[in-house]
Structure 1
Amino acid sequence: MTVKRLLIGAALLLCALMVWGFFTFFERYTVERDLGWGSEAQRNLFLAAEQYLASVGLKPRQAENISVLSGLSPDATLFIANSSQVYNPQRVEELLDWVRRGGHAIVVARTAGFDFDQQHNEERDWLLEALDVSIVEGHGNYHFEHPLQPLLGENAELSPKQSPGEALREYNRKIDEGITEAEKTDAEALPEKPRNPDVEPEDLVTLPTDEGAEVQLHFDASYLLYHPGLEDGAVDKPPVFWAKVWRDDEGVPFLQFERGSGVITLMTDSGIWQSHRIGHFDHAYFLQLLAGDGNFVFLTHPHFKSLGYLAHKYALEFFLAGALSLLAWLLLRARQFGPLQPAPETARRSLLEHISACGHYYWHDDQCEQLLRGHRSELLRQLRASEADSNARHKLAKKLSAATGLSEYDIIASLWGTPASSEETFTEQMRNLQRIEAVL
């Protein structure tokens, strides 16, 4: 057995041992890390709500403006994220007419720009006026998550009661102790993060269901809705259902009105169905209860795609169009040879220069003889001497000589002589003909 074969056998044996050791001592495991929301979730705050409704058998879709009413069936549900999208009385009447035919509209009242001192919005809210609903002040601003939650990640255990300084110190302490999720290999050892935020029980709205269970909701009570029917049931068309956050509240976070065969639900907080809060308490189930059997249409503010997203999506078309434009420019430039011609003069020449240029052109084009013959023929016709003999010509020349001051020889040469062969002779004959024409 040669040394070469021994080396090959040893190498193969070493490779086999390495493979066996890899499959024996190495264990594969998976670690999930929260990388934040994707681009689609950032553009569409109600993406989680759409996916939830799709999972329970409904057909959610997005719309861009209130004109979608013309194509909605009476059994559909229309969610309007801001009542300002019902922007005039005609649109309000269209919405109410669709509700009377059996539709269900869920409308979030516009609260941005509301002035509690003057009790009005910067712009009129036509839908709230039609329903005789006003906005009243609630309990101040609610914080549903810690302000550092988006920065530190969803899995960071932060309490809304902690200040930012306390939250950062606690987060850094856990990192120093090595108990973060990225450093743990046993996922079951991690304490499960609570699904609901830490809020006081009196801040929740509890609603009974037909099955005897209860639905808990956590509304932002900074703004509330008020209708005279909350205190006086004798008013015209009062709300049929509502619930208060606190018993001593003047307003409520949502109202329901019956109009014809349909229902209108008014709310002041659309955040309970946005992606960062729909998983809290029974918000998702409450959305399912309000949804009908037909389509569920989300009418939210349009979120325009960013320039970076459009550049990434249409990069191929952009560079292809640029390459074609460059090729077309090169083909255009390739048709031009030699030095560029000087730019033409823009100043207009005088009348004398124009006449001189035309005369030179006619002379070099051998057209002066035709001009001379034509002028002669016209003068002879006027003199009635086209067919005159020698005696008649002399008599006519003598008469014209006395009138023009020209010699008889010059007159005969100009009228009947040989056409000029030089520029000077042509000019002289034409001048003589013009003098003769002037005395006729």
Structure 2
Amino acid sequence: MTIKRLLLGLLLLLVAALAALFFAFFERYTEEVDRGWGAEAWRNPYLAAEQFLTRAGVQARRADNIAVLAELAPDDTLFLASSSQVYNPQRARELLDWVERGGHAIVVAHTAGYEERDWLLEQLQVTLAEGREDYIFEHPFQQLLGDDGAEYRGKSASEILREHNRRLREGDSGAGTEEDAPAEEAKPPRNPDVDPQDLITLASDDGGSYQLHFDASYLLQHPALGGGEETVKSGAEPVFWARIWRDDAGVPFMQFERGEGLITLLADGGIWRSRRIGHFDHAYFLALLAADGEFVFLTQPRFASLFELARRYAREFFLAGSLALLAWLLLRARRFGPLAPAPQPARRSLLEHIAACGHYYWRADRCERLLHSQRSAMLRRLGGEHASKATRRQLCIELGNATGLSESNIAACLWGDLPRSEEAFTAHMRNLQQIEAAL
């Protein structure tokens, strides 16, 4: 018993020593791994803009189509990723009416195709024309490559990553002593390297300034900016615009005042996409344009899928199907009068067929005509159609001798009244057949 207690005590001491060593050398640290964009970020290119506005205290949400205008308040802000979403004159009129009540619309001009009309731009007398030079977009690996991104242009993503990893390995293998260790790399710049003359510098309300970098591939043109002879409509004159180059007739964005509201028209809506909203002061510009109310993103029309519609209306679908099935069962179960006997599967005999035909003719009052025609043919053969009583008596005597029938039966068959029962009809027809056979 003592040995067992000693072994138990040694085991407890060993566990305590291991726990002490663990807590003495254990060090907790946190490492953040960037796994790239998630599925929601790939589906929604303006997700970063929505999150930025939410953190700035502005309520932001997405909408499916331009019909959201009926739900917006006068102090809300509506962002249209393409002016083509105002697809008819009625929608353009609704948008302008909402702006006149105090709304703020931010619209990205759409490049119209052949024979395609842009109703909103026509109302504002704005046209979209090509700029002076092509815009060079930021390379997707710009944050990874830093200032060395120029030499990777024209290569695929896999080639760029392999080259970058090779340089990292060579740098690690060449690090020998502590003096030869490379210095800590500087953080890559937030803004892309662009020509300063391609930037737009605007003054802020606090006396400072902010810079914007627009895509100059397409620019907005308006008769009020000069270079046009078209008359400007009332309310279609821009109140503010900014130029990239002083001698250019087009501008990247302009603003119109309509009633109590404002319309901001852009030639480049990519400044607020997730890849570019962090460059320069694009996010600050978005916050300045946001009104006091809700900010609604109308990026692209989204229609519910078949599965989503089935899940949304499953209850109504099954209820309607059940009612339709019940109505069909009630319709099939309804009948009038007693249940008819099931027809015999075997074919009836000739005698049954003759009997059925006879019953049919009797019910249709066709037996009297049949008997009358048969008797008329017999009298014509005998020559007794208009015979006197003496002649009729003589014919009855002769036919009685030939057929064995009584004179009264023969007279009743040839000149008597038509039968009124099935038995009398059958007897008359039988007598007529005997007379015809005797002739």
TM-score (norm 1): 0.65
Deviations 1:369-405 (A, max 9, x none): x969x88x9979x99xxxxxxxxx95564457789xx
Partner Cα distance (1:245, 1:43) in 2: 32
1:246 aligns with 2:235: no
Give unmatched runs, 5+ long, in structure 1. Answer: 114-120, 180-187, 322-348, 384-392, 404-413, 418-427
Q: Is the 8 A contact 1:159 1:198 kept in 2?
A: no
Instruction: Report the equivalent of 2:423.
Output: 415
- Report the CA distance between 1:282 and its aligned residue: 0.8
Instruction: Report the equivalent of 1:276.
Output: 275
- Report the CA distance between 1:261 and its aligned residue: 2.1
> Match for 2:152 among 153, 156, 163?
163
Instruction: Report the equivalent of 2:56.
Output: 56
Partner Cα distance (2:241, 2:93) in 1: 24
Instruction: Report the equivalent of 2:86.
Output: 86
- Report the CA distance between 1:190 and its aligned residue: 6.2
- Report the CA distance between 1:193 and its aligned residue: 3.4
Instruction: Report the equivalent of 2:402.
Output: none
Mapping for residues 241-320 of structure 1, pairs under 5 Å:
241-303=240-302
Partner Cα distance (2:162, 2:189) in 1: 21
Letter in 2 for 1:39: A
Q: Is the 8 A contact 1:108 1:266 kept in 2?
A: yes
For residue 162 of structure 1, give the secondary structure of its aligned residue in structure 2. helix
Instruction: Report the equivalent of 1:104.
Output: 104
Partner Cα distance (1:192, 1:210) in 2: 31
Give unmatched runs, 5+ long, in structure 2. Answer: 173-182, 319-344, 372-404, 416-421, 435-439
TM-score (norm 2): 0.65
**Residues 7 and 223 (structure 1), Cα distance of their counterparts in 2 relative to 1, 3 Å cut:** same
Letter in 2 for 1:163: Y
Q: Give me the identity figure in percent.
A: 54
Letter in 1 for 2:187: E
Q: Is the 8 A contact 2:219 2:252 kept in 1?
A: yes
Letter in 2 for 1:58: V
Q: Is the 8 A contact 2:410 2:431 kept in 1?
A: no
> Match for 2:215 among 203, 209, 220?
220
Aligned length in residues: 345
Partner Cα distance (1:297, 1:225) in 2: 24
Instruction: Report the equivalent of 1:42.
Output: 42
Instruction: Report the equivalent of 1:95.
Output: 95
Instruction: Report the equivalent of 1:332.
Output: none
**Residues 217 and 6 (structure 1), Cα distance of their counterparts in 2 relative to 1, 3 Å cut:** same
For residue 161 of structure 1, give the secondary structure of its aligned residue in structure 2. helix
Q: Is the 8 A contact 2:64 2:303 kept in 1?
A: no
Deviations 1:160-215 (A, max 9, x none): 52324484465123431477xxxxxxxx9664332222222122111111211111
Instruction: Report the equivalent of 2:199.
Output: 204
**Residues 400 and 60 (structure 1), Cα distance of their counterparts in 2 relative to 1, 3 Å cut:** same
Partner Cα distance (2:271, 2:58) in 1: 19
Partner Cα distance (2:30, 2:210) in 1: 37
Partner Cα distance (1:430, 1:273) in 2: 111
- Report the CA distance between 1:147 and its aligned residue: 4.0
**Residues 131 and 430 (structure 1), Cα distance of their counterparts in 2 relative to 1, 3 Å cut:** farther
Larger radius of gyration: 2
Q: Is the 8 A contact 1:109 1:268 kept in 2?
A: yes
For residue 40 of structure 1, give the secondary structure of its aligned residue in structure 2. helix
- Report the CA distance between 1:131 and its aligned residue: 1.3
Partner Cα distance (2:102, 2:351) in 1: 88
For residue 262 of structure 2, give the secondary structure of its aligned residue in structure 1. strand
